[in-house]
Amino acid sequence: MAVKEQLLLRILKQALPYLRRHRGQVMVVKLGGEIAANTEALRSLAEDISLLSHVGIRCVVVHGGGPQATELSRRLGMVPTLVQGRRVTDDQTLDVAKMVFAGKINVDITSALRTQGVQAVGMSGVAADILHAARRAPTEITDEVTGEKSMVDFGHVGDITSVNTGVLSLLMENGYVPVLSSLGSDGDGNILNINADTVSAAVAADLQAGKLIILTSVAGVLADKQDPDSLVSLLTVGQVNEALSTGAIAGGMRPKLAALARAVATGVGRGHILSGLQHGSLLLELFTRAGAGTLIVREDDQAAHRAPSTLPFGARTPMTEDAAREVAAPEAGAPEVAPPPGQGETAP
Ligand SMILES: Nc1ncnc2c1ncn2[C@@H]1O[C@H](COP(=O)(O)OP(=O)(O)OP(=O)(O)O)[C@@H](O)[C@H]1O
Ligand SMILES: [Mg+2]
């Protein structure tokens, strides 16, 4: 057999235990606005999601739309304000959020999925009481750089008070893939803008999803956010909470990590952050040993036991994080298969 064919076979066989493990699971996939705005990235991601749903994984797509909301606000002569990755939403910005999140982006994603043979159904969290929220009271915020404290009124920004995923389950059971934008409402007809990372975590927790996968514009959590090569490939919930308290995590990465830590602590199997701009990263993350981004696990997860017990944030460990991840995978309890020749030690 030619070398190329052997390699192809090996890759396919490496995917087998993951295929068996993931089948029938619910996965919540959140994508950031930058991915939805990039036609090529969106097409590639829609192919990946199509593959997942065709192998029996039940997917819910949740999306943000930060860059598009910022762009439309600017076009309308407004000055967008973000505090720690969350958008200050006045009356006009709420209109922009409705137009962009529940409008353009939602339709674009639904259409990209439809093109790849996925029966996608677009909706916002206002539908069927999916996201019930309360307006956030003015909050004291500590500036990431100066350490200065100030009161911030986020406007029409909601904190989720309850989640009703009934309609999402109904759709998934019937072969549809829900595409959810991050607007919710309170009981009095007020529409509220909710951070899409936070929404994805609440939805994943309510569905007790096997995975919450957050796709963004960077490779994953970076120990040094200026250095794209400083990817941290495995973190426990405890390490995430520690990292959040040190200030190593800034801007839009904060709500992501907070959301993932909460989701994993409340019953979601595992959390992932990876690039949605890199071709095929979702499939690599789910179906190969090395993975592609940052994996977030509970401390009692088998992967956490096998990883170095302390992973100082911002410093390299003697074992590279990628190596740790290699040892950690595949997921705890993955079915055993014979390893391909020459790969005995770390094989499933
Ligand atoms: N330690 C870190 N590692 C990685 N990224 C970081 C870190 N600290 C801050 N960031 C920033 O977080 C950003 C990702 O969040 P952002 O809110 O911009 O996008 P998103 O959430 O994917 O999209 P959307 O807001 O449209 O849903 C990265 O582009 C990066 O600049
Ligand atoms: Mg964001």
Neighbours of ion ligand 2 (CB under 5 A): 252
CATH number of domain containing 95:
3.40.1160.10
Q: How far is the CA of 221 from the centre of ligand 1 (A)?
A: 9
Domain closes at, from 191, 209, 227: 209
Predicted confidence at residue 160, as pLDDT, reads 97
Tokens of 344: 């005995």
- 64 shares a domain with 93: yes
Whether 1 maps to a domain, the answer reads no
Helix (H, G, I), strand (E, B) or coil at 157: strand
- 311 shares a domain with 178: no
- 202 shares a domain with 218: no
- 194 shares a domain with 45: yes
Assess contact for 211 and 270: CB atoms under 8 A: yes
Of 216, 233, 272, 321, the residue with max ligand 1 atoms within 8 A of its CB, to mutate for a pocket test, comes to 216
Q: How far is the CA of 14 from the centre of ligand 2 (A)?
A: 33
Domain closes at, from 158, 181, 209: 209
Whether 35 maps to a domain, the answer reads yes
Domain closes at, from 209, 237, 252: 209
- 136 shares a domain with 125: yes
Whether 344 maps to a domain, the answer reads no
- 310 shares a domain with 257: yes
- 160 shares a domain with 111: yes
Q: Which ligand 1 atom sits nearest the alpha carbon of residue 253?
A: 12
Predicted confidence at residue 124, as pLDDT, reads 98
Of 81, 217, 233, 311, the residue with max ligand 1 atoms within 8 A of its CB, to mutate for a pocket test, comes to 217
- 198 shares a domain with 51: yes
The pTM assigned to this predicted structure is 0.85
Q: Which ligand 1 atom sits nearest the alpha carbon of residue 36?
A: 26
Whether 348 maps to a domain, the answer reads no
Whether 32 maps to a domain, the answer reads yes
Query: Which residues of the chain, if any, have pLDDT below 50?
Result: 306-324, 326-348
Q: Which ligand 1 atom sits nearest the alpha carbon of residue 66?
A: 26
Whether 346 maps to a domain, the answer reads no
Site residues for ligand 1, CB cut-off 6 Å? 32-33, 64-66, 85, 196-197, 216-218, 221-222, 225, 248-253
How many domains does the chain divide into?
2
Tokens of 48: 């990946």
Predicted confidence at residue 304, as pLDDT, reads 61
- Upper half-sphere CA count for residue 298 (Cβ side, 13 Å): 15
Domain that holds residue 151: 22-209
Whole-angstrom distance, CA of residue 220 vs CA of residue 274: 5
- 191 shares a domain with 118: yes
Whether 14 maps to a domain, the answer reads no
- 177 shares a domain with 267: no
Whether 5 maps to a domain, the answer reads no
- 276 shares a domain with 199: no
- 186 shares a domain with 225: no
How far, CA to CA in Å, does 205 sit from each of 30, 82, 104, 164, 202?
A: 14, 26, 27, 11, 5
